[in-house]
A = this chain, B = another copy of it.
Amino acid sequence: MADQGPCWQQIVIIGMGMIGGSLAAGIKTRHLAKTVTAWDKNPASLQQAQDAGVIDRAGESLADAVSGADTSSDLVILAVPIQAIAPTFQALHDIQTTDTLITDVSSVKSAIITAAREVFGKVPANLVPGHPIAGSEKSGFAAADSKLFEQHRVILTPVDNTARQAIDKVSSLWQKLGAEVVEMTPTHHDILLAQTSHLPHLLAYALVDTLSGQGDDLEVFQYAAGGFRDFSRIAASDPAMWRDIIRTNNKPVLKVLDRYLDEVRKIKHLIEQDDAEELEALFRRAKSARDHFSALTALDKE
């Protein structure tokens, strides 16, 4: 892709964790904005970003960071924990930046729409809720990576009121960072992510906690090559962040969790009854689905 120079005047990133830092690094590396400004309530994260040279300016405050970022060539990206989204909307509202083009990266989307409606009175036309599916068990600016979003999906969840132009501009930024952008409703996003991300994290925490609480902890981890390692990796994820994601998306999570519990109880019953036929049929169905779709989606190459 030919580099056509910066398409953005100023991009302001609120939050210099792994995602915010990766955005700054990716935008800087690819020269996608004339100025990258950042703010983080933790001065150390902001300092790390400055030292790494991925931002041009560190705001003195949230208000200072977003000051002047109110033209159609500016963008404010909220890369803060999900619990901090509503207060950040409030702060933006207080400093009258309603017309500013805003996007976010939160893992739950309905809650973002609700928070926006509560703070701004309606969902601003220039707010484009988004979610890059590029998490990892790592967190913090130290885990920032300019290539984090390459060949990963970004879900945008606009509402009826969202301006098409705003969606297209945010979409274009993600594409320039190497991501594939898809659109869906906030509700659909939250149900899908409850299944593919929130439930697996919850189950991984549950398994590691179950096993490490028993007998010789170290031994369980020494034999992790037997399959346990796949589960234990995501249990290294940030506990406070996942607490908030799961609380915020509790209804879809509880719904799929109930389905999963039913399935595991069914398997337990099959083992108790020593029902070889049904047990194999179930495993075979799972393997077929996985093999079929991994071929279609190149699951193992990611």
Residues of A within 8 A of B (CB): 133-135, 152-153, 192-193, 195-197, 199-214, 217-240, 242-243, 246-247, 250, 253-254, 256-261, 263-265, 267-268, 271-272, 274, 276, 279-280, 282-287, 289-291, 293-294, 296-297, 299-300, 302
Contact = CB atoms under 8 A, between A and B. Distances in A.
Contact of A212 (B261, B293, B300): B293
A205 B265 contact: no
17 contacts: A135-B225, A135-B226, A135-B227, A196-B223, A202-B264, A203-B203, A205-B283, A206-B267, A212-B290, A217-B289, A229-B302, A232-B290, A239-B286, A239-B287, A250-B272, A261-B261, A261-B264
A235 to B, nearest CB: 5
Contact of A231 (B152, B230, B261, B276): B230
A213 to B, nearest CB: 8
A274 to B, nearest CB: 6
Nearest to A237: B287
B271 A253 contact: yes
A232 B231 CA distance: 10
Contact of A236 (B195, B259, B294): B294
Provide the main secondary structure of the chain A interface. Answer: helix
A282 B209 contact: yes
Nearest to A246: B271
A290 to B, nearest CB: 5
Residue in A197, A200, A203, A286 with the greatest tally of chain B CB atoms within 10 Å: A286
A199 B207 contact: yes
Nearest to A250: B271
Contact of A192 (B208, B223, B257, B279): B223
B226 A200 contact: yes
A261 B264 CA distance: 8
B233 A220 contact: no
Given A221-B294, A235-B290, A239-B287, A204 B227 contact: yes
A222 to B, nearest CB: 5
A223 B133 contact: yes
A221 B260 contact: no
Contact of A234 (B230, B267, B296): B230
Give the interface centre of A200, A268, A296 by most chain B CB atoms within 10 Å: A200
A196 B256 contact: no
A254 B267 CA distance: 10
Given A259-B210, A302-B225, A239 B283 contact: yes
